[in-house]
Structure 1
Amino acid sequence: MKKIIYAFLFISSIFANAQDLKTYQIYNKKEKKATFHKMINELSNYDIVLFGEYHNNAVNHWLQLQLTKALYEKKNGNLTLGAEMFERHQQTDLNNYLSGKTTDKEFQAATKLWQNYATDYKPLVDFAKDKKVEFVATNVTRKFASYVSKNGLSSLDTISTENKKLIAKLPLEIDYDAPGYPEMIKMMGDHAGIKAKQFVAAQALKDATMSETILQHYKADNLFIHYNGDYHSKNYGGIYWFLKKSNPNLKIAVIEILEGADEKLSIVKPKEENFSTTEFIIVFPKDAPKTF
């Protein structure tokens, strides 16, 4: 009998410790802990939600899908989705898959997709397909960002009128002091000089193109959820900065991502850069499963 009791106590202890483990912790703008339900209720009142992500964080991607499903229900289906992971020239291929004109196999074979598409983004696309929700390919065609990174903004002057439809409207105004960009220049080091500016210009081209595409598909009665790398919207920079520049009246929420420094998943702000507390911050364990 004693052995049974000891075994029961041992198993109960293990279970209790396992229950203490967290897969994520949400914080609001006041850096107070928030529940998933509370986050959904608040986000439903916004026009646009920019969900930053770490591209390889599996829990992050799972949570994106849960958030999308919850907001779909909360908004009675009045939802539009968009993602950095799809470029403007891929919209036709994406539409053909969403409408059932092509199969998943045909779509993946014909379209150059991210290496973790099948595990991390396909569930979102398939949700949109099932619910007949618009899914927008927002990003600049990558080769043009590469042009800028290597040769500067002036290299865009030489592309065709047709190709200019794949990038944000020119001329592109860049504020190199906007949130995020000074940190990028600093990371490249003072010796990088003009190359650092060109690298930031390429990033700004992506941010501006995604912002412009979101605005082209935004509907007043729909909530637009956009999935992008955390760096494209953190600290209210990047996409957020361009959206507000175009339409200051838009109500935009930013979800930032951190990987925790302790088991309690506390907010530990990066010392090497400025850090603004956005509408919500989600902290994941440092050892959260990675998809690549």
Structure 2
Amino acid sequence: MKNIFSILLLVIFYSVNAQNFKPYQFYNKKGKAIKAEKMVKQLADYDVVFFGELHNNSIVHWLQLKVTEGLYDKKDKQITLGAEMFERDNQPQLNKYLAGKIEAKSLKDSLRLWNNYNTDYKPLVDFAKDKNLNFIATNIPRKYASQTAKEGLESLNKLSEKEKSYIAQLPINVTLDTPGYPEMKKMMGDHAEGTKVMNFISAQATKDATMAESILNNLQPGKTFIHYNGNFHSKEFGGIYWYIKQKNPNLKMAVISVFESEDDELKIPEKEYIPTDFNLIIPADMTKTY
């Protein structure tokens, strides 16, 4: 009787553990599930790879690191890293850390690091440091984006030449033809003033255009540039992707977009799903880091 009871417990235990709890699933543009290893192999053929993220999702950050490691191997070390989370004027300090000239504490004291840097971005920076790779601070200093939102794009013309060097070449083309920008306009609401709306969109454009220019300035023949940015900055092939295409339409670029799903099997969401080259589906109930 005791043996039978033990067997029943084992059956119940394995039945519970056999449930399919999927932490993530990648799909290609055609909606076909694809293994991460196969995706990485395909990514090695691209000049630029955008890995969109939800800033507070641990699974996405872990996958960014694993995909980067895989791409490093597939490309025989020929990759460059870059990220929205680092601003252009912080490149000298970042370079010193990568070269081993300053310690992690000095980097933290000298850069405007995001609050989740230690858990979510330091592993990527340290990977670049350990492998002697370039890591590019691509974004506009936030004070200039904030200035644009308050005073308009034209206010940037008053900056010094040094300050302008941290921003994409002026004038920046701001248009609602850019995917994602009409959505921003809609989010502002019908009652928002026209100038205020366009200032807000222009601030987004300064970020996207600056990151695009930073990537273009640091491309090297034979190397893949992998860029980490908030999902909105590259979703629907808009944002940074769109600005690069205006400058160099011949570059081969891939976008990894991220979507949350309530489905345990992580099937493609039925609503608000506009696929890019590769599409990461993650559980909507995944614990948020902040």
TM value normalised by structure 1: 0.96
Which secondary structure does the structure 1 equivalent of 2:191 belong to? helix
- Partners of 1:174 and 1:71 in 2: how far apart? 33
Q: Is the 8 A contact 1:168 1:212 kept in 2?
A: yes
Correspondence for 2:12 among 10, 32, 42: 10
Q: Per-residue displacement from partner, 1:42-71 (whole Å, max 9, x unpaired)?
A: 111100001100000000000000000000
Give the letter aligned to residue 287 of structure 2. P
How many angstroms apart in 2 are the aligned matches of 1:64 and 1:165? 29
Name the aligned partner's letter for residue 113 of structure 1.
Answer: L
Within-5 A mapping of 1:93-112: 93-112=93-112
Q: CA RMSD in A?
A: 0.9
Task: Judge conservation of contact 2:53–2:257 (CA < 8 Å) in 1.
Answer: yes
- Assess, with a 3 A threshold, how the Cα gap between structure 1 residues 270 and 141 changes in structure 2: closer, same or farther: farther
Q: Which amino acid aligns with 1:285?
A: P
Q: Which amino acid aligns with 2:102?
A: T
Asked if the contact 1:59/1:289 (under 8 Å) is kept, the reply is no
Deviates more, 1:247-256 or 1:191-200: 191-200
Taking the TM superposition and a 5 Å limit, the aligned residue runs for 1:1-292 are 1-17=3-19, 20-192=20-192, 193-268=194-269, 270-271=271-272, 276-292=274-290
- 1:289 positional shift: 2.7
- Structure 1 residues 1-52: Cα deviation after superposition (integer angstroms, max 9, x where no partner): 11111111111112111xx000101000101111111101111110000110
75 and 60 in structure 1: CA distance in 2 versus 1, 3 angstrom threshold: same
Q: Deviations over 1:102-139 (max 9, x none)?
A: 00111112212000000000000000000000000000
**1:269 offset after TM fit, Å?**
5.0
SS at match of 1:190: coil
8 Å Cα contact 2:180-2:236 kept in structure 1: yes
Paired with 1:168 and 1:16, the residues of 2 have a C-alpha distance of: 52
Structure 1 contact 236–276 (Cα < 8 Å) conserved: no
Shift of 1:90: 0.5
User: Structure 2: any 5+ residue segments left out of the alignment?
Assistant: none
Q: Report the CA distance between 1:278 and its aligned residue.
A: 0.9
Instruction: Please give the alpha-carbon distance, in whole angstroms, between the structure 2 residues aligned to 1:87 and 1:112.
Output: 8
Residues matched between the structures, number: 287
The one-letter code of the counterpart of 2:98 is L
Code of the aligned partner of 1:117: Y
Q: Report the Cα offset of residue 276 of structure 1.
A: 3.5
One-letter identity of the residue aligned with 2:282: F
> Which runs of 5 or more structure 1 residues have no equivalent in the other structure?
none
Aligned partners of 2:131 and 2:263: how far apart in 1?
Answer: 39
Query: Percent identity among equivalent residues?
Result: 51
CA distance in 2, matches of 1:42, 1:269: 26
TM-score, normalising length: structure 2: 0.97
Tell me how far apart the structure 2 counterparts of residues 270 and 13 of structure 1 sit (CA, whole Å): 32
Q: Secondary structure at the match of 1:213?
A: helix
Matches of 1:217 and 1:291, distance apart in 2: 32
Q: Is the 8 A contact 1:211 1:239 kept in 2?
A: yes
Greater than 6 Å deviation, 4+ residue runs: none
Q: How far 1:267 sits from its partner (Å)?
A: 1.7
